[in-house]
Structure 1
Amino acid sequence: MTTGSSSTSQSGSGAAAGTRPPRRGERISTFKGQERALRADRLGTVGLLLSVLAATAPLMVVAGVMPTTFGVMGIEGQPLLFVVLGLVLALFSLGYAEMSRHVHNAGAFYAYISRGLGGTAGAAAALVALVAYSALQVGIYGIFGFEVSGLFATYLDTDLVWWIPSLAAVLLVGALGWLKIDLNARVLGVLLVIEVALVVIFDVAAVGDPAQEGLSLHAFNPDTLSGAGVGTALCFCIAAFLGFEQAPVYAEETSRPHILVPRVMFLAVGFVAVFFALSCWALTVAAGPSAVVPTARKQSAGLLFFLTEDVLGSTFTDVLHVLFVTGMFAAMLSFHNVVARYAFAMGRERLLPAAFGRTGASGAPGTGSLLQTAVSLLVVVGFAVADDKPHGDPTAPVLHLFTWGGSVGALGVTVLMVAASLSVIVFFARRGAARAQGWRLATSALSGLALLVIVGYTVKDFDVLVGSGPGSALSWALPAIIAVAALAGVVQGLLIRARSPEAHARIGLGNEAFQLEKAAGDMTDA
């Protein structure tokens, strides 16, 4: 599948046909051209891990997701939720990682689902993935603009409407997305390391200077996970893990995808579960287990900064505010890269126009990057037009754009995980490997059922997630976005199967389909 193997075979066939061999340094084309395959050998374990972890936006989770879960849902045992979800996603990763040894495709979720459940299901998954990851990325532009405008007001005494920094971020992320992924990995890595270091400093300081209740482990008591808010808290917390499942998206850009992709997924899940569980526990220690919920309700998203001000001083808190913004930027860039690669994979298989299935001179999916930039601009401009207040409505970027986008995206990705769990079981069972892979199929079934329960709670409590109230149309209209995307994908898949069974059979094969066509053409010529 790599361009190196393709080039060698082609130069060999060219020599056999009597044509001149390529001169030293001359570029050799693959069957469909180098533009139909993402450039391999560009990411190692560290680069892939950093790209994946950047999407989790650690500081955004600690400063945003955790205070919301404490305050809105009133769940003291949130640290235990991260442990539980870590176990569920580790079970999911066992089958998902094994699938990655057999399927190397930038389409990841939809490629896996295609291999197990067929091309029509794959087409549905492709559109759901495109919509979900796009919603996640665009949503972050909202809270990014809000935070940057707050920094301008605090430190420069300047009123800056939120959508100005949001639009600037859209353009900058689009420019970086157009460049080589090597640069992106370095950008993401630097921001991620600094971000994690600051949170660890807070964790250590909180443990060293606890509230009056001391180093209490009450937050890990199962009795704290009771009440109606637990299901909704699971919906919030699973969004904190999103990113680990993106590792297979970059499979074509690694030298040993069958080794690196599973390794990175397990490292990412393990790191996220431990890091967030401990950091969430540190919040309870700093505020006090009995006081963390009322304090979160009072401080809202300012909980972390309120606690660091008391424990580490104003200078550290100021730095934390700035790194909060850069961490969000890293997450936006990471999700942008994923959406661009999904668009590339879909274009390569005619689920999107063929132009999306080509790469630029750098080997990156440029057209897909442009698509995501255009979508982001349209959405941010739409919210900006709707925000008719002189200095911007603070509820528009956070309570609307960020919350709506994040909730829709998290729902979509969780649905894809459920389908992928089923696909793993069917994939190996159809190949007669059910006995050999029995324990992996069992873990896929268990994780799939657990994730399905979370999907049910998410849809049921969507009005709580987006703060719209039970009677609001948003409680069904926003989840319907994922349902409509899935239905549209099914219709597209059925149409492709009726018009071109060969194209339908290639859904999910990626560049392998072109290699098979080349081999068939060579045999015909012979």
Structure 2
Amino acid sequence: MPVPALRPPDTISATLARGRLGIPSVVFFVIAAAAPLTVVAGGATTGYAVTGVTGIPVAYLVVAAVLALFTVGYVAMSRHIVNAGAFYTYVTRGLGRPAGVAAAAVALLAYNAMQIGLYGGFGAVLAQFLHDRYGWAVTWWLCALTAWAAVTVLGVLRIDLNGTVLAVMLTAECAVVVVFDTVMVTHPAATVTVDTLAPTHVLAAGIGAALVTAITGFVGFEATVVFSEETKDPRRTVAHATYLAVTVTGLLYGLSAWAMSVATGPNRIVDAARTDGTDLIFHLVTPHLDASVVTIGRVLFITSLFAALLSFHHTVARYLFALGREHVIPAAFGRTSRHTGAPKIGSITQSGLALTALAGYAATDADPIVHLFFWITVTGGLGILILMTATSTAVLGYFTRRTGHHEGHWRATVAPLTATLTLAAILTATLREFDTLLGVDPHSPLRWLFPAAYAAAALLGAVWALTLRTTNPPVYAAIGLGADSHTLPLRNHPTRQPA
């Protein structure tokens, strides 16, 4: 039976809305996904409490340095490939089409986990705030559904309008974090000390778990490439936005975690974190600030979670768009709204999946913080770590085969190789200590069940790619080509890439 050629889609389905995002907008999107106030109030505190390690500030700075190394090769590759598929596209170009589709399956699972898990945190935190502030008894899932409705609407609107919403939220959020940090440092428990910033903490017991905790706080920075097709100058915007995102979040997290240790005293930070939980930062600044400022901080904690929800929603929608455009999944996912340029089918699909998950958690009366927010987002972070390790390896493969790229030995080889080895070491530590991150018994099947989901997703993706190679060669040949994929059957392959 003859193999049908790919039908050239109309322009609406081939491309996203171009030229709508500049460097500030992309930075707002990716830092919003990292959710600075959520990481500072929740992630850093949890890191102290769970690991018992006082070197959490160093862990954030070390991870920032590792991700900066990763960014060197990642950004170098972005100058050669502009595609909303990001990790999927890069792994395809560097390691081959089966590996690329496997990476896409892992990415969809990981980013959906991050996005859906955040609904648990948002719902629980908002419900608690409404109860404490106004005495309203509202269930967590009703609050989560309110956020879901807003994300569903914003997901199909113009991307630059979403950038404006995130810009306002993120600016206020970062301002509050800086104010809180200043208050904590200027009101130390005894004297201002840099004990928790000492490099010796890197060699301390438990630093592996601390690094794993820290790396989850950066998830989202890598999404600069996801928005590359919608930027005004992809090669310049992606590079600058990625470096800015890593630098800003790294410094903000590290200094904030240090400021908390100053306010409690280095020897008391772990006990304080275990006692106060996510309220620690608010308790530390309450005696020194007007109550209205602290309330604003609590509100921004909630909006921080919402901003992350919205940003991860966009990331998932664009991955689905990239796969649909190349006919790896149904072509309908490769269509965008004629009015807004948003990938509406991918956006609606992600919203439907999130609604189904929320309904399941509500029906089973599961704990929204432990079983949805904590377990699922930690698992999502694991998936992103897997993808970054694979992508760094793919950068090496891409530049090794490509001649005349003019990127230099540092950007094409040394930095990606160093990043690959370091990320692989952190990934090994993550898998080894995953029971600690979940808070379950070392012999619990859950410690392997969640990581195994990624192995299954990768296997299914690779098998599907190989199936396409046999049943639909034009589609298989177009994998990873992005907006050029629909013209492949009509011309020679524009770039040599591994099978």
TM bucket normalised to smaller: over 0.9
Aligned: 1:271 with 2:243: no
Match of 1:415 in 2: 386
1:380 aligns to what SS in structure 2?
helix
Contact persistence 1:308–1:316 (CA under 8 A): no
Aligned: 1:494 with 2:466: yes
1:22-421 map, 5 Å: 32-212=10-190, 214-361=191-338, 362-387=340-365, 396-421=367-392
Contact persistence 1:35–1:363 (CA under 8 A): no
2:416 aligns to what SS in structure 1?
helix
Aligned: 1:461 with 2:428: no
Q: 1:328-359: CA deviations, max 9, x gaps?
A: 00000000000000000011112221110100
Unaligned runs of 5+ in 1: 1-29, 388-392, 521-526
Aligned: 1:481 with 2:453: yes
Q: Distance in 1 between matches of 2:289 and 2:451?
A: 41
Match of 1:15 in 2: none
Q: 1:230-265: CA deviations, max 9, x gaps?
A: 111111110111111000101110121011101110
Q: Distance in 1 between matches of 2:86 and 2:197?
A: 34
Displacement of 1:367 in angstroms is: 0.3
TM-score, normalization by structure 1: 0.89
Unaligned runs of 5+ in 2: 1-7, 493-499
96-105 vs 310-319, which moves further: 310-319
Contact persistence 2:328–2:475 (CA under 8 A): no
Contact persistence 1:408–1:482 (CA under 8 A): no
Structure number with greater Rg is 1
Letter in 2 for 1:94: V
Q: Distance in 2 between matches of 1:59 and 1:336?
A: 19
Letter in 1 for 2:88: Y
Q: 1:340-390: CA deviations, max 9, x gaps?
A: 000000111122211101001211000000111011001111110110xxx
Task: Count matched residues.
Answer: 484
Q: 1:31-71: CA deviations, max 9, x gaps?
A: 63322210111101111111111101000001100011111
Letter in 2 for 1:310: P
Displacement of 1:288 in angstroms is: 1.1
347-356 vs 327-336, which moves further: 347-356
Letter in 2 for 1:403: F
Q: Find 1:430's aligned residue among 397, 401, 409.
A: 401
TM-score, normalization by structure 2: 0.94
Contact persistence 2:60–2:253 (CA under 8 A): yes
Displacement of 1:209 in angstroms is: 1.7
Q: RMSD over aligned Cα, in angstroms?
A: 1.7
Q: Distance in 1 between matches of 2:63 and 2:438?
A: 21
Displacement of 1:227 in angstroms is: 4.3
Contact persistence 1:408–1:481 (CA under 8 A): no
Instruction: State, as a whole percentage, how many aligned pairs show the same letter.
Output: 42
1:55 aligns to what SS in structure 2?
helix
Displacement of 1:89 in angstroms is: 0.5
Moved over 4 A (4+): 433-436, 515-520
362-371 vs 162-171, which moves further: 162-171
Letter in 2 for 1:379: A
Q: Distance in 1 between matches of 2:86 and 2:185?
A: 40
1:350 aligns to what SS in structure 2?
coil
Q: Find 1:450's aligned residue among 422, 444, 465.
A: 422
Contact persistence 1:428–1:434 (CA under 8 A): yes
Q: Distance in 2 between matches of 1:512 and 1:209?
A: 58
Q: Distance in 2 between matches of 1:313 and 1:183?
A: 33
Contact persistence 1:31–1:515 (CA under 8 A): no
Displacement of 1:460 in angstroms is: 1.4
Displacement of 1:170 in angstroms is: 1.1
Q: Distance in 1 between matches of 2:310 and 2:471?
A: 37
Letter in 2 for 1:480: A
Q: Distance in 2 between matches of 1:248 and 1:177?
A: 18
1:201 aligns to what SS in structure 2?
helix
Q: Distance in 2 between matches of 1:469 and 1:222?
A: 31
Counterparts in 2 of 1:173 and 1:87: CA distance versus 1, 3 Å: same
